[in-house]
Every structure is written in structure tokens, then in C-alpha cells.
Amino acid sequence: MSKQGRIGSGICYGKRETKKESSDVGVKRLRQKVMTKPEKYIFPFAALALVIAVCVVPLAAEISNVISTRHIAHRMDEAILTVNNELDIELVVSWMSERCYQCLYQQLGVVPAGPSPGQPSSVDFVVGTQHGITLQLNSTTVNLELCTVPFHFGEHGNYSLWVKNLNMVNCSVVTGADPVNSYIPILVAFLIFAGLALASAIGTTILGLDVVRGFFYRISGSMETERLINSELGSPDRTVSLIADNILPPPSSPSKRLRSLDTFRGISLVIMVFVNYGGGRYWFFRHESWNGLTVADLVFPWFVFIMGTSIALSTHSMLRAGSTRCSLLRKVVWRSIQLFIIGVFIINPNYCHGPLSWDNLRIPGVLQRLAFSYLVVACLDLLVARGRLDILTTDAWWSPGLDILLYWPAWLCVLILEIIWLCLTFLLPVPDCPTGYLGPGGIGDMGLYANCTGGAASLIDRWLLGESHIYQTPSSRVIYATHMPYDPEGVLGSINSILMAFLGLQAGKIILHYRDLHTSIISRFLIWGLLLGAISAALTKCSTDHGFIPVNKNLWSLSYVTTLACFANVLLVLVYFTVDVKKWWSGAPFYYPGMNSILVYVGHEVFEEYFPFSWRMSNSQSHTEHLTQNLVATSCWVFIAYVLYRKKIFWKI
């Protein structure tokens, strides 16, 4: 942990002449300080926050009402389906999720035949409500399909499925009790945070007015002036620094650090913390079961991307300052080792369940992948980076591509790595599985490849690391009912994470080569976004499951990287334009965790089970309570990052 001191906090003026000359200057600078920091006064914020709270009370009341009236048997994301059978034969009820590609139907239960004509037999079943499902009813005697019913059930609703024989079998779903709107808590949370953002913007605008600033100056000016006079007339033997808090030294040269990069990193980190804490138990804040994207699938690649951008800027800065490549290489290797060790021994084990066990210690992980990607990409950049860019010619015909052509050896290395990934993925034989298999296994692909989850990627992990040292409960278990362990941060996928970091490195090269040329930077970001988006469209055929290489977070597929890099370039344009170009937004509150990313990430993992990040809920089957807890926990880490930023405390590895 490193702590940086406040500039000017230790300056003392030893000469009387300096003391005299500084008195008037101190008052002038004091006025400037008072008038440029209106954010100290937050009373308008509190008033507007109160108005917002009053506005959302009716919605909160509706949440309480729907919770109190829910069915006693309902759990989160569940509904009750009563199947009424008027036929004289038993029925087998099966189901399949609409998100399950080429899946087998899973049996829900058996409904006996009706006891007499016109008198049905009824059986209650619990069905999921996260996605639409297709119900299939078969007769038990000849296994004949009688009907299929696609339906999207609502949370905590009661439904009846009537099976009648009116010359032909007729199946229809009737709603008995309306479901609750489980998205109201998200709406309330959005209104609260949007209201706070609006209050902050309005308050900052009001406090920035000359009239308001003058008012606060008049209130505090006399007190501060008296302090300055007392300091002038104080004890002669007192070492006077003219109250260093108020008399600042001449301002240093402005920092070249781009706030947009830290803001981008902070956005990724805050969303990552929120989804890791549960995301209110909403399915779209969890990782996709196999192919496709959810909000949770966006943030890790974005973090890797902006890490690559930071590598380009920091390497260039240190080379320009005179550091040798060998010394920088030692720092890169040491930092990678630290990240890997923290990931394996601090993040991966759950010490609440007992001491570390070597027998089932998971080796891959998020920080481990960051360490590996950082090591490779930073070494590539050290190979080709230049400390001086202002001496390069810009008159040649190829100068518009200078940010690419100068670094062709690194591009060649990344291209070779990508060829290795393609060859291993599509050509490596996997026992009892089709070569080039990219599916989830389990009940997918009609259950033909149940033990083939992940194909070559899974085989390489089990061979190199051992089955007990990889992730045991992958997200594919949720929909595809897989039972094979599979690690989404495995060895083969790390190659594509290198590609993601390298694409971020390219964004950093654009910033370096076209510094202060905002139009050139933005246009190149957009061109890269368009190019990567076109590659993704070609690889996926603009579909979830039918492309050559589907978008898949578990595999870190090539299309997943190009798609997320496309999104990252577009998002970086928006943040760069609003924060660094137009300065419409300071980047707050995301800027603060972005400045202390390692501390926030490690802290949120280590203290996950501690208050105020977690507590025992009165109703664990409520999205409202989960969302409240997860938002409070995430907000706490943002606040912690803000406090550490104000105290100039940053954890650097």
C-alpha cells in the first residue's frame, strides 16, 4: 500500500520578507480556493434527494404489497403450474427452456388419468420464470406426443394447464393468479440513482454561480482572514507556513493522466462488483449459461481491454523518463507474479469453509488471467515501444497507419497466438467427442455429447491442471444440466484474453500518436469499433447459436473478444468525449474505484461475507432485498474508493 502526500503540505517559509509578501497573496488564493470548491456544501443535494425519496414511495409500497400477497409455496423466479388432466390416460409433462439450444426435454412429472369423465385429476408443478419454456405432454402408454405449449410464466403467478379431449386433444394455459412485476425494484433503484445524479448536477451548477459562491465566501471569508492575521501576529519564534492548508504553492504542471481511462476502468469494476455480489439475483446480471451475452459477461473483457490501454501509456511514459527496458521487464514480471499469487491464495479459496486444501485448490481465476495477459502484452510492448514519438515522420503515404505499422512485430506475435488458438480449438482430437466441438455438453445437442463440455478447452485444462484444480460449477449447469467441471478462465481462453488486452494496447497507441488531436482519436476508435463489429457479425452470422464461432464467455471465443472489443471502443469514445474533450462529466463516481482498482477488487472478494456488504435477509426469496443488499455493498466500495482517493491512498502492485 502506498500513500502519496498532499502537494505543499510540508512547505515552510523561513524568511520574514516571504511572510510579509505572502499575506495578501494568501487572502487572494483563499478566495480562489473557496470559490472553486463549491462541492463542500451539500445541503441542496440532501433536499433534492428527499424529494426523490418521496417520489419513489408509491413504487416501494407496491413492492411490499406484492411480496406480502405472494403464494406461500413460491420461491424466487418460480411459478405454480397446475396440470388438469381430463383424459383417461396418464400424461408425462416435460419442459425445455427457450434458451437451451437443441436440448432434450426434461421430465417435470406424471399426471394420472381422470377418475371419471368430466372430472380431472390435478397435479401441481413448480416451473421457472426466468425464460420462456415449452411444455410437452406425452401419453405414458405409447409415448405419443399429445401437444406442446410454449409459454413464459411470470414470477409468483399461479397457472392452470387444462388437457381436454374435444374430438382432439386440446391444451391451454389459464392464469389463476397474476404474477408480480419483479422488475419494479430495478425501476426504483434506477430512479433513486438517477435522482442522485441529477441532484448532484443541479447542485454543482447552483453552487457554481457567482452569487452563491460570493455568499459562501462572505460567510467564511472573515473567519479565514482572522486566522491569517493571527498567524501573522503570532509568536515570533513560531515557524510560520502561512497555514499551508490555505496558502498553496504555485500550481504544478497539469497531469497528463486521462480521466476517461480511469472512469472506463471504474465503470467496468463497479459493474463487476455488483454482479459478483449477485446482481439482485436477476438472470441478466448473471453469466450466460453458454452462447450469448448478459450484462455480467461484459465487464471482465472491458477491464482487460483498458489494462492494455494503460500498458501502452505507462510504458511510453517510463521509457521517455529514461527507464531501461530491462528494469521495466523486471517490474512487469514481479507484478504478474503478485497478481497470480493473490488470485490463487487469497481470491480463489473460501476460507469461511475451512483452511486451504491443496487437493482441490483452483488454479485459474480472474486475477490469474489478468496476470498472464498483462505479462504477455507488456512484454510485447516493451519489445516495440518507443520513448519518443515526436521525431517520427508524418509525411509518408503510410503515416495514417503509423500507430499500427511501427509495431508490426507485436501484431505478428498476436496473430501467431490466434492461429494457435484456432488450431487447438478446431483440430485437436478430443476422446469421445467431435473434433472442433464448441458446445456445452449435458442435455445440449440432443444429449449426444454429454461429457464434451467445452471441447478442446476443457481437455487442455484437465490435462495440464487436473480435474480437481479447475472450476467445479460452471454456468452451463443452469440450463444445460452439465456435470463436467469446466473453467471459464482456463488455459486456452487465456490466448484470446491476450488478444483483448492487445486491442486495448492499440487504443493506447492511438492516444499516444494523436495526443490532443481529439477528432483523430475518436475517429480511429470508431473505425476500430466498426471493423471489430463487422468481424463479429461474420463469425456469428448475426445469431446466437448458428454462427461459425458463437459469442461465448465460457470459451472466450474469438467472436466474444471481437464483440466486446467493439463495445469497448464505442464506450471509450463516449467516455473520452464527455470527460476529457468536452469536460461535461468529471467521471465521478466511477473515477474513484478506477483509481484504486486492485484494492476494490480484492477487498470486495475478501470481505464479501462481512457487514455492511452482506447481512441475513428477512426474505431471501425477494429480488428487492437481494438488489438492496447488492447495491448497498457496491455503493460502499465506491465510497471507500472515494475516501481513499481523498486521502491519496492507492494500492499499487
HEC states along 39-101? HHCCHHHHHHHHHHHHHHHHHHHHHHHHHHCCCCCCCCCEEEEEEEECCCCCEEEEEEECCCC
For cell 492516444, the residue is: 511
Q: In what order do the strands lie in the sheet with 91-97?
A: 106-111, 91-97, 133-139, 145-151
Annotation says 604 is catalytic: no
* Biggest CA pair distance of the chain: 110
> 462, 470 in Cβ contact below 8 A?
yes
Q: At what angle do helices 184-207 and 43-68 cross, to 10 degrees?
A: 170
The Cα–Cα gap between 222 and 207 comes to 20
Tell me the DSSP string of 436-457: T--S--TTSGGGTTTT-TTTHH
Identify the active-site residue in 287, 469, 623, 626: 287
| Residue 431 three-state SS | coil
The Cα–Cα gap between 328 and 205 comes to 44
Residue 327's φ and ψ, nearest 5 degrees, are: -65, -40
The Cα–Cα gap between 575 and 579 comes to 6
The Cα–Cα gap between 168 and 328 comes to 78
| Residue 371 three-state SS | helix
Alpha helices in 132-209 (DSSP H): 184-207
For cell 467445479, the residue is: 472
* Burial class of residue 58 (count of CB atoms within 10 Å of its CB; 0-12, 13-18, 19+): exposed
> 120, 463 in Cβ contact below 8 A?
no
Give the C-alpha distances (Å, rounded to integers) separating 168 from 43, 160, 163, 171.
Answer: 71, 19, 10, 10
Q: At what angle do helices 299-320 and 259-276 cross, to 10 degrees?
A: 150
Joined grid coordinates for residue 150: 410454449
Q: Which residues contact 201 (CB under 8 A, 6 or more apart)?
A: none
* Burial class of residue 23 (count of CB atoms within 10 Å of its CB; 0-12, 13-18, 19+): middle
Helix (H) or strand (E) holding 564: helix 558-575
Give the C-alpha distances (Å, rounded to integers) separating 471 from 283, 354, 556.
Answer: 20, 18, 15
Q: Parallel, antiparallel, or unpaired: how do β-strands 2-3 and 78-85 relate?
A: unpaired
> 549, 557 in Cβ contact below 8 A?
yes
Give the C-alpha distances (Å, rounded to integers) separating 108 from 179, 228, 636.
Answer: 21, 80, 43
Positive or negative, the CA dihedral 568, 573, 575, 579 is: positive
The Cα–Cα gap between 630 and 186 comes to 12
Nearest one of 306, 262, 285 to 565, comparing CA atoms: 306
* DSSP state, residue 347: I
> 263, 571 in Cβ contact below 8 A?
no
Known catalytic residues are 287
